Structure formats: structure tokens, C-alpha cells
Structure 1
Amino acid sequence: MGKPKYFLRIEVAYKKYGLLLSQRKYVLDLLEKTGLLECKYANTPMEANADLWLDDTSLLDDVGRYRRLIGKLIYLTVTRPDITFTVGVLNRFMHKPREVHWTAALKILAYVKSCPGKGLLYKKHGHTHISAFSYAGYAGDMGDRKSTSGFCTFIGGNLVTWRSKKQDVVSRSSAEAEYRAMAHTACEMVWLRKFMTELGFVQPGPIPMHCDNQSVIYIAQNPVFHERTKYIKVDCNFVRDAWEKKIVSLIFTPSSQQFVDILTKATFSKMFFTICDKLGMVDIYAPT
């Protein structure tokens, strides 16, 4: 049948320097159906200081319209990690959306209109090593003050999996929130290592996990539990077990070099585009 070019609304573009996965046609069709083909561009999918928990705006009359749009945007995150956090936040208001949420959803469309062909570029880096970045947006949900876990994993220098998810319980400290995120990341790394081994690619040594919280790294490497860690003892045991078995190695990485910021919070445009570049997101259809 030849090389795939369009499958499940995902476009595959082949270039000399690599392969690009995007959903350009899906974006343009979505803009046309919503009547926003002529709308103004937006630099980012969400304002850095946006407050979506305001309850003084009116409820939407057509709740189904909001739910259908969010559902379509969720599918767009298959190749667009840059909108994953924003879509995830708006998904929390499916039961009772307000005007402020609808406006935020339209802003995502205005953002993707500025770069409809943006997607993930996969190219050779001369290795198949696995690495991961873990981060948590502490108490970012203004409604219940729960934190958001985020991680992204790379194979051969290319982004393969990412996640942005609100934590199930309220963390009592930033270290606790970071540790919960770290446990999710470690689980993903264990699975990726096993999967790559089955394919015949063996990871030489532990998989590096990058984290910007030194206290969390200390807790993972310290066999003594303290009062502040008893609520996350299961997560502590899981991460420590992976570290002791040399499945993962814990590496301190400054916040300025973290890739996961856009998966846990809304950021300003300069940082936003810098992280998108580091994640390997490009738009081959953009004018040069």
C-alpha cells in the first residue's frame, strides 16, 4: 500500500531531515465548521493569568456545542502537546460550562489557526536512548487547589508520550505534588523500557528522569520516611524501587530547562514557543 500519508485524520509528511505528524486538514475543517476561518490569531492557547473559575458569568445555553468542541480538541492533542494543558482544564467544566469557558475554547481555535500545520517532527539523532521530564503545577486548580501532574518522554531524542492530568487529591506541599508526578513518570518509563526491549532496543544503563525539585530527589534516594512523606508512601516506594533497581536515574534539572511547563500551567508566549521548539514541534507549512 506504500507509505501512509493520511490516517485517522493524521497527516504524515516525509522530508529529507525527518518525518512530521500533524493534523492540518483536521484543524482547517474544525475552523470552517465553527466559522472561525477569518478570526484573529492568538499567540498562545491560554493567557498566563486566565481565571476560568469565575462563577459570575452566565451559563451556556447550548451545553452540547461546548462538549462537542472540547471533544474535537481532545482528539487534536494527539499531535499537539502545546494545547494539551488548556484542553484538559476546559474539560473539567463539561458538566456546567459558562461563557468564560466558551471564550477560552475559542481562543484555542484562534491559536491553532495561527499554525494549523504545526506538528511533531521525528528525525534521527544517532541513538535510541529513553529519557523523561517530570513536573507538577502545585495547587494550580483554583477551584479545589489540586495540583497538575505532567511528564513527557523521549526515545532517540524524539517526543513519544506526554501527559497532563489533575491529581486526585490535594497535595500539602510542592514536594508532595512533585512526587506524585514523579511516580506517574516512573511508571511510564518502566513501561517504555520493557516495550523497547521487546522490540530489540536495550537501554544502556538507567533511564534519566529530569526533575527540578532537589528535595524530591533526596526523598527518593533516602530510605527513611519522614512525617511529610507518609501521605505519599506508596509513590515513594515505587520511585525508590525503580531507582534502586537502576531502572531510572534521578537528575536535577533547573526550571529554565524543563520541557513540561506547558503541560502543567499556562505560560507567557516567549517561554511557550521555546518549549515547543524543544519538544520538536515545527510547522513545515509556515511561510519562511
Structure 2
Amino acid sequence: MIDCKPIDTLMDPNVNLLPDEGKAFPDPGRYRRLVEKLNYLTMTRPDVSYVVVVVIQFLNSHCDSHWNVVFRILRYIKGAPGKGLVYTDIGNLDIVAYTIAYWVGSSSDRRSTFGYCVLIGCNLISWKNKKQKVVAKSSVEAENRAMALTTQELIWLRYLLQEFHFCNIGIMSLICDNQAALHIASNPVFHEAK
């Protein structure tokens, strides 16, 4: 690892990982230990969070192609050793959450992947990347589920800040890039079609 060449991108966009594709990796314990350490690293490095979620799916069925992605993550980390979280006090307690869903994010089980990040002022304080528990029928459904899960996080954070006696909690905003999902979420008379 000391002599490896650093890279600027985490994952090759042309790589589509599937279980049991390619030759089995000879040392399953090594793969598992390294992926678990990378998962721990995501607590302070949200930039690697999504790709780590992808490789975690293959803890029990990993191949050379999965190891290559893990090795690529290490090369990325080597090229960006100073990245991490930095917090500044700007006196603003406005809470903004950004959410996104990747419909059919996994080609192996067709479940969508969602992610969110929550900022207080300009400080990132919460983030998550995870597969949704059910298969969404459309991108709008996947985005609505992501918005609902992000809203749960926002409510929890508001209660947490109140518990710590932060009196001047600002506006809470949820940002989503899917216009149809936003329309459904903001329509008080919308009912499911039968």
C-alpha cells in the first residue's frame, strides 16, 4: 500500500458489482477485516460512505472484482489524507437536509439506495447511505421513502438539540431533486391511486 498510486475518484463508473462474479478472493478474513475498518472510517469520512456501503454487501460472497474496489478506496484515501470533517461556529442553527435515492441502485436485488446529509449552519452533522428495505416501483416511490427517512432524522435532531437546550433552532429544510416526489409530499389531499 505504501507504494500504490493515489487516485482522485472512489469508484469506476463502469464497474457493476455482482455477487460471485469472477474468481473467489483467496483470503476472506482479510477482505472482511478491511471492509469493517473502512466502515468505521465512514464516521469521519462521509466521502467514502457510499462506496463502502456497496462493498459491505459482498462480505459473504466476495471476489477479485470486489477486492479491486476496496483497494481503489484505499488508493483514494491515500490521495486525500487531509479530508474529513471541520466544524465552524457561524451562529446559525438553520438545519438543512439533502436527500437522494437511486432507483434500482442494486442490480442484484433491485432495491433502491438512498442517502441523506444534514447540515446545521454549514456543518455536516449527520449522513447516511443505505439500501431501502423494500423494492420501489418507481423513482418517485424511492425518493418519497428517502424523504420520509430523512424527515425522521430531522425530527430526531430537533428533539436532540432541544434536549441540549439550544433555544434558537432555526428553520428546518428538506431538499430533494425529484419534482414529482416533492409535489406528492407537499400535496395535502393526495391519496394513493386504487
Q: TM-score range by the shorter chain?
A: over 0.9
2:190 aligned residue: 224
Q: Deviations over 1:215-241 (max 9, x none)?
A: 1112112223132xx8xxxxxxxxxxx
- Residue 57 (structure 1) shift: 0.7
SS of the counterpart of 2:128? Answer: strand
Q: Is the 8 A contact 2:92 2:170 kept in 1?
A: no
In the alignment, structure 1 residue 187 sits paired with structure 2 residue 157: no
- Residue 210 (structure 1) shift: 0.4
SS of the counterpart of 1:123? Answer: coil
SS of the counterpart of 1:119? Answer: coil
In the alignment, structure 1 residue 125 sits paired with structure 2 residue 85: no
Determine which of 111, 134, 152 is the counterpart of 2:99. 134
In the alignment, structure 1 residue 163 sits paired with structure 2 residue 128: yes
Q: Deviations over 1:125-160 (max 9, x none)?
A: 231221111110111111111110100001122000
Distance (Å, rounded) in 2 between the aligned partners of 1:61 and 1:70: 15
Distance (Å, rounded) in 2 between the aligned partners of 1:49 and 1:125: 41
The normalised TM-score by structure 1 is 0.64
In the alignment, structure 1 residue 78 sits paired with structure 2 residue 43: yes
- Residue 56 (structure 1) shift: 4.1
In the alignment, structure 1 residue 89 sits paired with structure 2 residue 71: no
Distance (Å, rounded) in 2 between the aligned partners of 1:197 and 1:156: 16
- Residue 116 (structure 1) shift: 1.5
Q: Deviations over 1:244-287 (max 9, x none)?
A: xxxxxxxxxxxxxxxxxxxxxxxxxxxxxxxxxxxxxxxxxxxx
SS of the counterpart of 2:86? Answer: strand
Distance (Å, rounded) in 2 between the aligned partners of 1:54 and 1:192: 36
Q: Is the 8 A contact 1:133 1:211 kept in 2?
A: yes
RMSD (Å), alpha carbons: 1.4
The normalised TM-score by structure 2 is 0.94
1:286 aligned residue: none
1:102 aligned residue: 67
- Residue 93 (structure 1) shift: 0.4
Distance (Å, rounded) in 2 between the aligned partners of 1:193 and 1:54: 40
Letter in 2 for 1:192: L
Distance (Å, rounded) in 2 between the aligned partners of 1:196 and 1:210: 21
**Superposed counterparts of 1:4-23, under 5 Å:** none
Letter in 1 for 2:192: H
Determine which of 25, 32, 43 is the counterpart of 1:67. 32
Q: Deviations over 1:92-151 (max 9, x none)?
A: 000110000011100000000001221111112231221111110111111111110100
Distance (Å, rounded) in 1 between the aligned partners of 2:119 and 2:155: 13
- Residue 169 (structure 1) shift: 1.2
Query: Which contiguous aligned blocks of 4+ residues in structure 1 show a shift greater than 4 angstroms?
Result: none
Q: Is the 8 A contact 1:128 1:157 kept in 2?
A: no
Letter in 1 for 2:39: I
- Residue 49 (structure 1) shift: 2.3
Distance (Å, rounded) in 1 between the aligned partners of 2:20 and 2:60: 14
